Amino acid sequence: MSLLSTLARLEAIRSGRAEPLATVRHRHLSDRPMVVVPLAAAGEAGAPLAVLLGTDRAAPRLHLVPQPLNRTQRFDFLARFAAELLPYLESFGAEVEQIEASEKDPETGEKTQVFRELCADAPQLIVPNPGSIRHLALLGRSTRFRRTAEDADPGPYPAPTRVPLLGRWLTHLTERSQVPGSSLLLPMTGLLARHWATGQSHLEDQHLAAQLAWHSPPPGLTGAEAAELAETERDAHGQLTHPPAGPATDPRFDELVLAGAITRHDAALVALQHLTTAGQPAAGLTTADRPAERQRAELLVKLASEQLHAALESVLLPTWRDVWHGLDLLRTLPPAAHLAERWESDRWSYTGHRDRLAAGEPPQPKQDDAVTAARKLAQREREQVRVDVQEALDDPLVMAERRLAGEAFTGVVTEVTPAYDTSGRSPKPRPLVTVRTEDRPHADPGREAHRANGLAAQKAVIVGADPAEGTITVQVTSGMGRKKEPEPGSLPEPGDRITFTLFELTPRQSAPLPDPDDTPWTHGGPPGSADHSPTAAEEWE
Amino acid sequence: MTTEPDPADPAAAADATVAEILTAVSRPSPGAPRGVVVDSPPGAGKSTLVVKAARELVGQGERLMIVAQTNSQVDDLVDRLAGKGPDLTVGRLHASDSRPAAEALRHSNVTASAKVADLLEHDVVISTAAKWQWVKAEAPWRHAIVDEAYQMRSDALLAVARLFERALFVGDPGQLDPFTVVGTDQWAGLSYDPSSSAVVTLLAHNPAIRPHRLPVSWRLPHSAAPLISAAFYPYTPFRSGTGPDERRLTATVRPDGSAVDAAIDEAAEHGWALLELPARHAVRTDPQAVAAVAATVDRLLRRGLTAHSEHGSQPLTPARIAVGTAHRDQAAAVRAALTALGVPVDPAAGPAVTVDTANRLQGREYDVTVVLHPLSGRPDATAFHLETGRLCVLASRHRHACIVVARAGIAELLDDHPSTEPVSLGVTVKFPDGWEANHAVLAHLAGHRVRL
C-alpha cells in the first residue's frame, strides 16, 4: 500500500466517507454489461446453488439447483445458466472490423499483407467479488471436459449439449481476469477499492455492502457505523438484511431457511415420483382418485419450488442492487485516456476465443504445459507494467504516488539551453532543460528520464540536480525530429509545467520461448500426449 | 569441549569436492545426467569454481557459454575470468542500450559486442539470462555454466536451455528466491512453475542429479560461519576456512565513549554487534535508524581500523565497507545521510562505501557490513520482510564483522506474526522459514547488544 492510499484511508476514517483514490475511471465499463451474482452450496467445493444474472437491472433472472447434491439437477441448472449466458457472450461475435497486419511467410520469409478479424465490441461480466470469480472458474473446470449426447462416446452421464461450451467460456473469462488491467470479467469490490479508499481494512472491503456503506452512509451515521450495520444487522427472523455477496451464504440462512426449503422440496418430489412409479394408490383411496392425488402432489412440488425461489431471491437481490449501484458510482468518473487501448486487448482476447471455438479446437487443458505457463506469466508481467504506467499517465493522483516514491517529478521549466552532440557526422540537438520542482526524485546523474504525456515519446538523461535550489537539469536526447534544430513544439518552453518519469513508459517486449514441442530437457521435454492422471469412477448421486 | 578443526583440513576437504565437481563437468561418465548442480554457502569459492571449470572445459577444446543473472555479476565474472586466464578469449555479450563496466573491458582478451555473431569464435561468451534469451541458436554451445542459478527463474531457463547440451549450475540455495509481482497461484505445485527457481525445476525433472556441496566458507569468519550454517543451512552444514584468531580488526583511535564506538569494539572483538535503538514504530526510512547507520559507518572510517587476515593486514577503506537494507528508499536515505557526513558513496568518484539492498548485494564481499534490520521499527512482519534469503544475504557479506542496527522489539514483533503463508500441494516447504531464521539470528545478536 502506498503512502498516499494510506493517507486516503486515514482521511476516510476522519471524514466518515469513502475518499477518492483516482480522478478518472481506470477500467473499461461496457454499455451493456451482464451482472452475474452466483451462490455456492455449503459442504461441497464448487457446488453451484443459484445464480442471479441479467443485463437489465429491472429484470434479473434467477436459476437454482433445488437439491445441490443432485448431479442431474446440477446439470439442468448449468444448462439453464448456459442458455442465459451464452447468447449474451456470442452476441458480440458477429460484428467485426478488419485489422491490417503483415505476416512473415514461414518458407520464403517474405512479408505479406493479411487482414485479421477483430470483434467490434466484447462482452463484460460484472460479479460482486473475487470469490465469485473463483467460483465461476471452478464451474468452468468441472464442466468443460463433460461429454454430451452429441459425442461419439457420450459415457454414462452425458451433460446437456451447451454445458461444456459454458465451461470453456467461463474458463476463458476467469483466466483473462488474471491479466492485470483486463476488463472482460471484473469484481465490483475490486473496482470500487481501486477508485475509492474506505476507512476499513482490505479484508473488510471484500464485503460489497460494507464497502458501499462508506459511499452513502445513512443520515446520522459515519461510514464505519454504516459498514458495521451492513455486516451485522438482522431482521425479526434472525436473517441478515445485507446478506454476504457470495458465493458462500450466511450459515444462519442455510440453517433456518434454506435447509427447510430444500427438505420440503425433496419430500414433495419424492411423493410425486412415488405416485408416478408405484402401482398401488394410497390407503383409503381408489384408483379413481389417482389424477386428483397427482395434481395435489404436483402442486406441492410447485409450492416448494416457489418457496425455494423466494428464499434465494431474497438473499440475492440486495447484492444485485449493490452491484448496479456500484456501476452507477463508477460511471460518474470520466473514462481514463488509455482505456480504449486496453479494451482492444480484451477484444482480441474475446475474438481469439471465438475463433478457437469456431475452429473446433479442444477445451483448454487441465493444466498449462511449461511453455504456456511461462508465456502467460510473461504476458501478465508485461500487462502489469503497462497498466501501472498508463494509470500514472492518465491520472495525476496516481502520478502523485509515483512522485512521492521518487520515481517521477513534476515542475515548471525555468530554462531551456540549446546544446549539440557533435561527435557524429552532423550535429544533433541535445538541449538542456532545467525544471524547478518540489519533488525529491532518486535523480542520480546519468539516469534516464522519460517525458510524460508529451506529443511523442521523448527521452532525456539527468545531468544534474540541485536539492537546495529545487532544480533538476536533464539533457533531452530524442523526440526532436531528425534535423539539426529541434522541431518546433517538440521541446518544452520556460513556464511549461511538465512531468518526467524515471520509469520507462512502454513495457519491454518479452523474450521468445520455445514451441511446446521443443520443451527442453531441463523442463521435462515435450509434454506427453498421454494423460497420466488416474481416472476415478464418478460418484453421481 | 569441542576440538578446533585442523586448519589444513578444510582446504583439503574443499579441494576434494572441487576436483570431484570438475571431473563430473569435464569428463562425465557415460549415462550421467546432463546437468551438474553445485550448492554453495556464502563465500565458499563459487566464483573460483566457475573460473576453474571454464578453464578446464576450454582446455579440452570446448567452446563455452556462461549465464549470469545481472549485469554486475557478468562484469565481475568477466573481470575474474580474463584476469585469471590471460590465455582465454572472452566475449562479453551485452544489450544494445547498455555498456559493460570498465573493469570488465580493461583486459586485452575481452571483446564486448551486442551481437552474438561477433563473439562466436571466442572460448567463452558471457551474458545475462535476459540477453541470452534473445540469442538465435544457430550454433548451440555444447557446454554452459549457469551462475547464481538459484536466483534464476524457471521461465528464464526454459528460454535459454535450447542453447546448450550440458550445463553446470552453481548457486547459493540460501539466498533470495526469484520473485514476480503478479499472481502465480495457478501454477503452484507444478514441477515447472515458471516463477520458481531454475534449479528447483531442473531437479524435479532430472531426479538423477545429486547436487554437490561446497563444504567450506572462505569468506565468513570463524565467528559467523556456525551461526549462518545453523540458522540458514541446518541440513547442509558448512564451516569457516579460517580459525578463531585468524581474522582480527584493530583500531588505532580510542573509542569516544559513544554507543556507536562500543558497538564497533564489540564487533571487532566478537564479529557481531547489535546497535539497538528504543522500540518505536517508524516510517520505512526511519530517520533515527538511518542516522545511526550513517554514524556507525562514519566512525568505522575514523577509528583507523586495520583488518588482519590470512591475506595480511590492510586498512579498512570505504571500498571494504557495505551497508545493506531491505528497501531501495532506505538505501537512498542512508546514502544521503552518509553524503552529509562527507563519506564517499558514489563509486564513479573513487573508492566508496557500497549502500544497497539485499538483492543487489548478493554475491558481493566486504570486510565489514552495517545492516539495517529488515524488521526494524515495523508494525508488521510481512512475507517480504521475513524472507529467509533476505536476512541470509545481509548477514553473510562480511569477512570480519557485521553490525546490525535495529529498533528494540523485533522478537515480540515476530511472536505477533507467525508465518501464515498458504501451503500448496506439491511445493516443498522451505525450512527453516524466515520466522525461525530471524529468531535464531536475533538470539545470537542479543549477546552482542549495545543500546543507543
pLDDT tens digits, one per residue of B273-283: 999 999 999 98
Q: Residue B386 and residue B279: Cα distance in Å, rounded?
A: 19
Instruction: Verify cis geometry, omega within 30 degrees of 0, for the bond prior to A87.
Output: no
- CATH dotted code for A408-501: 2.40.10
* DSSP H or E stretch at residue B416: helix B410-416
* A368 interfaces chain B, CB cutoff of 8 Å: yes
Cell of A324: 448496479
* B158 interfaces chain A, CB cutoff of 8 Å: yes
Query: What local confidence, expressed as pLDDT, does residue A107 receive?
Result: 74
Average pLDDT estimate for B294-323: 93
Residue in this structure with the C-alpha cell 548442480, named with its chain if needed: B37
Closest by Cβ to B159, choosing from A178, A513, A521: A513
* B183 interfaces chain A, CB cutoff of 8 Å: yes
CA distance A94 to chain B (A): 33
Whether residue A529 is predicted with pLDDT greater than 60 in this model: the reply is no
Whether residue B4 is predicted with pLDDT greater than 70 in this model: the reply is no
* B193 interfaces chain A, CB cutoff of 8 Å: yes
CA distance A431 to chain B (A): 21
User: Measured between beta carbons, which residues in chain A are less than 8 angstroms from residue B206?
Assistant: 521-522
Flag if B192 and A370 touch (Cβ within 8 Å): yes
pLDDT band at A287, cuts 50/70/90? low
Mean pLDDT of chain A: 90
Flag if B155 and A377 touch (Cβ within 8 Å): yes
Q: Is the ipTM of this complex over 0.85?
A: yes
User: Measured between beta carbons, which residues in chain A are less than 8 angstroms from residue B201?
Assistant: 522-523
Flag if A374 and B159 touch (Cβ within 8 Å): yes
pLDDT single digits (tens) A244-282: 887 999 999 999 999 999 999 999 999 988 887 765 555
- Alpha helices in A154-254, H assignment, sequence order: 163-176, 188-195, 202-205, 208-213, 223-232, 251-253
* A461 interfaces chain B, CB cutoff of 8 Å: no
Flag if A378 and B155 touch (Cβ within 8 Å): yes
State the angle between helix axes of B259-270 and B287-302 in degrees (0 to 180), rounded to the nearest 10.
Answer: 60
Flag if A523 and B183 touch (Cβ within 8 Å): no
pLDDT single digits (tens) A47-80: 999 999 999 999 999 999 999 999 999 999 999 9
Whether residue B190 is predicted with pLDDT greater than 50 in this model: the reply is yes
A interface mutation test: which of B96, B182, B199 has the most A CBs within 10 A?
Answer: B182
* A448 interfaces chain B, CB cutoff of 8 Å: no
Query: What local confidence, expressed as pLDDT, does residue B428 receive?
Result: 76
User: Measured between beta carbons, which residues in chain A are less than 8 angstroms from residue B426?
Assistant: none
Q: Residue A88 and residue B171: Cα distance in Å, rounded?
A: 53
CA distance A513 to chain B (A): 5
Residues paired with A187 in a beta bridge:
A127
pLDDT single digits (tens) A352-405: 999 999 999 999 998 899 999 999 999 999 999 999 999 999 999 999 999 988
CA distance B159 to chain A (A): 5
Residues paired with B217 in a beta bridge:
B240
pLDDT band at A538, cuts 50/70/90? low
Cell of A472: 533538476
B interface mutation test: which of A141, A522, A533 has the most B CBs within 10 A?
Answer: A522
Please, are residues B255 and B265 in contact by the beta-carbon 8 Å criterion?
yes
Whether residue B30 is predicted with pLDDT greater than 60 in this model: the reply is yes
- Cβ within 8 Å of residue A140, ≥6 positions away: A166, A167, A168, A169, A170, A171, A172, A173, A174
Query: What local confidence, expressed as pLDDT, does residue B168 receive?
Result: 94
User: Measured between beta carbons, which residues in chain B are less than 8 angstroms from residue A384?
Assistant: 181-182
Which chain A residue shows the shortest CA-CA distance from B163? A520
Q: Which of residues 413-442 of A touch B (CB under 8 A)?
A: 442
What are the CA-CA distances from residue A387 to residues A504, B195, B253 (Å)? 12, 21, 55
Flag if A373 and B205 touch (Cβ within 8 Å): no
pLDDT band at B229, cuts 50/70/90? very high
Domain ranges of chain A: 408-501
Cell of B55: 578453464
User: Measured between beta carbons, which residues in chain A are less than 8 angstroms from residue B195?
Assistant: 377
User: Measured between beta carbons, which residues in chain A are less than 8 angstroms from residue B190?
Assistant: 367-368, 373
CA distance A389 to chain B (A): 14
Count A/B contacts: CB-CB distance under 8 Å: 88
Query: What local confidence, expressed as pLDDT, does residue A100 receive?
Result: 85
- What is the percent of chain A where pLDDT is above 90? 67
* A180 interfaces chain B, CB cutoff of 8 Å: yes
Whether residue A534 is predicted with pLDDT greater than 50 in this model: the reply is no
Please, are residues A185 and A133 in contact by the beta-carbon 8 Å criterion?
yes
Which chain B residue shows the shortest CA-CA distance from A3? B283
Residue in this structure with the C-alpha cell 555444447, named with its chain if needed: B142
Cell of B171: 548457486
Please, are residues A128 and A319 in contact by the beta-carbon 8 Å criterion?
yes
- What is the percent of chain A where pLDDT is above 70? 95
* A373 interfaces chain B, CB cutoff of 8 Å: yes
User: Measured between beta carbons, which residues in chain B are less than 8 angstroms from residue A380?
Assistant: 182-183
Helix (H/G/I), strand (E/B), else coil: B370: strand
The DSSP secondary structure of B31-70, one letter per residue, reads T--SEEEEE--TTSSHHHHHHHHHHHHHHTT--EEEEESS
Q: Read off the pTM.
A: 0.89
User: HSE on the CB side for B98, CA within 13 Å?
Assistant: 17
Q: What is the CA radius of gyration of chain A?
A: 30
Flag if B191 and A524 touch (Cβ within 8 Å): yes
Flag if A521 and B206 touch (Cβ within 8 Å): yes
Flag if B155 and A374 touch (Cβ within 8 Å): yes
- Cβ within 8 Å of residue B448, ≥6 positions away: B266, B267, B270, B272, B273, B274
Please, are residues B432 and B389 in contact by the beta-carbon 8 Å criterion?
no
* A365 interfaces chain B, CB cutoff of 8 Å: no
What are the CA-CA distances from residue A201 to residues A12, A204, A207 (Å)? 12, 5, 11
CA distance A525 to chain B (A): 9
Average pLDDT estimate for B335-363: 89
- Least Cα distance to B150 among B424, B449, B380, B389 occurs for B389
User: Measured between beta carbons, which residues in chain B are less than 8 angstroms from residue A524?
Assistant: 191-192, 204-205
The number of residues in chain A equals: 541
